[in-house]
Chain A
Amino acid sequence: MLVHSRGGRRAVWALFALLFLPLFALPLLVLVAASFAGHWSGALPSGPTLDHYDAAVRGESLRALTASLATAAAASALALTAGTWAALSAHALGRRARRVMDLLFMLPVAVPSVVAGLALLVAFSKPPVLLNGTRWIVILAHTVLVTAFAHQSVTAALGRLDPAYEQAAASLGARPWYVLWRVRLPLLLPSLGAAAGLCFALSMGELSATMMLYPPDWLPLPVLVFGATDRGSPFTGSALAVVLMGTTLLVLLALSRIRTKASYR
């Protein structure tokens, strides 16, 4: 305990609340409040309404939600496969080669997403690979951007894995494939679940590269949120944002349930 007097502790906690609540809790509360508000010109919102949600779950918005979910699901599945593959194969290499691979796969984090989007636009706007104007370029961009995070979390998990299990399996004559499938991947499952959640959340909220690439028939939800606020209807934007946050949280919750179920095995 750093502060011993009761008064001192109270003062510290008051300072904490004073910093924490307006900075972190208020924005989220305000977004939720705005999504139910008809007007907001004053200290508090007024004219409670569900109209924004009515608009947020039909037509263009519903298509955007589906596009976002499909993009995020595809990108996380691909990124998880590629990231896990990269982490596993790097783990089998020597120290220097491993470091090079870690560096390569972390590059997409260091490079601005807008630039990654522009690079894809430059590379895939002409034959032989013409992806520009299709949804595949959006999915490719999201995959590239989130693979770094999948790779990073699986690499960290591999480092914590007890090698005794796979050594025991191998010494009992299990082939490498069998060891991978029946020993290492099940042991990695909790981390894979966490990595999948991270990738999904990042892809659901990805705006930078998407703004550079999205075709007219594949508008993910963040693009629509920007469109609504840019048109001067921030209340619709807030409702869409709440739908975005809610969907992300639901998927994260579902993934964490799979995770805990697996850990009892």
Chain B
Amino acid sequence: MAEARPWAPRLLWAGVPVALLAAGFLYPLVLLVWQSVSPDTGGHSFAVYQDVFGSEVFRRALGNTVWIAAASTAGCLVLGFVLALVIAFVPFPGARAVARFVDVFLSFPSFLITLALVFVYGSAGMANGLWTDVTGAAEGPFAFLTTPWGVILAEVTYFTPFVMRPLLAAFGQLDPAQIEAASSLGARAPRIVRQVILPDALPALAAGGSLVLVMCLNEFGIVLFTGAKGVTTLPMLVYTKAILESDYPAACVVATVNVAVSLTLYGIYRAVSRRAGA
């Protein structure tokens, strides 16, 4: 029925929000890429790219970004799968409340996790305090907060709910009869998980995992609050170059690379989640 109406006014209506998006986002983004090939000295060249690609800081930031994001995503997938599995298939009183709590968790900003972890694992925090109280040692053994592992712990904590949500939805659609049948045929829990539940959850896992991967690649708050010199990622480097060093051409180059990496992965996410029917 909708197809019968003339298409011109419909296209015009759609044009208004697209024009707004273009003015507030697409045009600035294009300008940013343009700026990255227009050095301050005038003309257009890839000179800044050469400088940036040649610098040790950039290469380390690129490496850090990718491996921290990959490790965090792997952690989120394992943890999210286990937690969602228990909530869905070994329900306990209050499991609903836990699922609700996870939703609330998503509405808080990520950097709060790092702020909280300072009190838990920081040099004068709970874990080290407990250790020194029990053993009488001068200082505790936990000093990983300012290393990439601190960032990974915070990212796993913050992003795991993003894996749990699609998984819980997928588990809700799984026919319980399948599990009962497997169980009555003598399959034990690990085998049911491996052969019945996991194959069914794979699309949701893939979709959730690639979303989390993109979000980890783009994460800034957690890295900023970690405040460690040794843990520089691409978004952090964009901030450092632009705001702290006022080196806008270099910042634009790093930003362009960051966008290219994230968009490539986001494209994969869209393809995967469409195939999964999510």
- Interface residues of chain A, those whose CB is within 8 Å of chain B, are 1-4, 8-9, 12-13, 15-16, 19-20, 23-28, 30-31, 33-34, 40-45, 82-83, 85-86, 89-90, 92-94, 97, 101, 103-116, 118-124, 140, 143-144, 147, 167, 197-198, 201-202, 204-208, 211-212, 222, 225-226, 229-230, 234, 237-238, 241, 244-245, 248-249, 252
What B residues does A112 contact at CB under 8 A?
217-218, 220, 234-235, 238, 255, 258-259, 262
What B residues does A19 contact at CB under 8 A?
79, 82-83
Partner pick for A92 among B10, B160, B234, CB 8 A cutoff = B10
A176: nearest chain-B partner, CB-CB: B5
**Could you tell me the distance in whole angstroms from the C-beta of A200 to the nearest C-beta in chain B?**
9
Q: Assess whether A207 is in contact with B221, with CB atoms less than 8 Å apart.
A: yes
How long is the Cα–Cα vector from A82 to B24 in the complex, in angstroms? 12
Asked if B120 is at the interface (CB within 8 A of a chain A CB), the reply is yes
Partner pick for A26 among B1, B17, B120, CB 8 A cutoff = B120
Q: Assess whether B263 is in contact with A110, with CB atoms less than 8 Å apart.
A: yes
Q: List, sorted by A's number, 25 A–B pairs whose CB atoms are closer than 8 Å.
A: A16-B86, A23-B157, A40-B124, A40-B125, A44-B129, A92-B2, A92-B10, A92-B14, A111-B29, A112-B234, A112-B259, A118-B32, A118-B252, A118-B255, A119-B31, A120-B24, A121-B242, A122-B252, A123-B32, A143-B24, A211-B243, A212-B242, A229-B118, A229-B227, A230-B227
What B residues does A201 contact at CB under 8 A?
107-108
Q: Assess whether A27 is in contact with B117, with CB atoms less than 8 Å apart.
A: yes
What A residues does B3 contact at CB under 8 A?
94
**Could you tell me the distance in whole angstroms from the C-beta of A37 to the nearest C-beta in chain B?**
9
What B residues does A25 contact at CB under 8 A?
101
How long is the Cα–Cα vector from A112 to B27 in the complex, in angstroms? 16
What B residues does A206 contact at CB under 8 A?
109
Q: Assess whether B32 is in contact with A119, with CB atoms less than 8 Å apart.
A: yes
How long is the Cα–Cα vector from A207 to B236 in the complex, in angstroms? 12
B176: nearest chain-A partner, CB-CB: A1
Q: 16 additional contacts, CB 8 Å, given A2-B193, A115-B32?
A: A3-B90, A19-B83, A20-B83, A43-B126, A85-B13, A107-B25, A114-B235, A114-B258, A119-B28, A119-B32, A144-B24, A208-B221, A211-B239, A237-B115, A241-B115, A245-B108
Known: A9-B90, A40-B125. Is A31-B116 also a contact (CB below 8 A)? yes
Q: Assess whether B220 is in contact with A114, with CB atoms less than 8 Å apart.
A: yes
**Could you tell me the distance in whole angstroms from the C-beta of B30 to the nearest C-beta in chain A?**
9
B: number of interface residues (CB 8 Å): 88
What B residues does A28 contact at CB under 8 A?
105, 108, 112, 116
What B residues does A109 contact at CB under 8 A?
214, 266
How long is the Cα–Cα vector from A82 to B11 in the complex, in angstroms? 16
Asked if B189 is at the interface (CB within 8 A of a chain A CB), the reply is yes
Q: Please report whether the interface of chain A is mostly helix, strand, loop or mixed according to DSSP.
A: helix
How long is the Cα–Cα vector from A89 to B17 in the complex, in angstroms? 9
A34: nearest chain-B partner, CB-CB: B119
Q: Assess whether B20 is in contact with A82, with CB atoms less than 8 Å apart.
A: yes
Q: Assess whether A113 is in contact with B218, with CB atoms less than 8 Å apart.
A: yes
Asked if B142 is at the interface (CB within 8 A of a chain A CB), the reply is no
| Chain B positions 227 through 251: 1 when the CB is less than 8 Å from some CB of chain A, otherwise 0 | 1000000110011001100001001
**Could you tell me the distance in whole angstroms from the C-beta of B246 to the nearest C-beta in chain A?**
11
Asked if B225 is at the interface (CB within 8 A of a chain A CB), the reply is yes
**Could you tell me the distance in whole angstroms from the C-beta of A160 to the nearest C-beta in chain B?**
14
**Could you tell me the distance in whole angstroms from the C-beta of B129 to the nearest C-beta in chain A?**
4
Q: Which of B18, B116, B242 has the most CB of A within 10 A?
A: B116
Q: Assess whether B252 is in contact with A16, with CB atoms less than 8 Å apart.
A: no
**Could you tell me the distance in whole angstroms from the C-beta of A139 to the nearest C-beta in chain B?**
11
A92: nearest chain-B partner, CB-CB: B10
Q: Give residues 98-149 of B contacting A (CB, 8 Å).
A: 98, 101-102, 104-105, 107-113, 115-120, 124-126, 129-130, 132-133
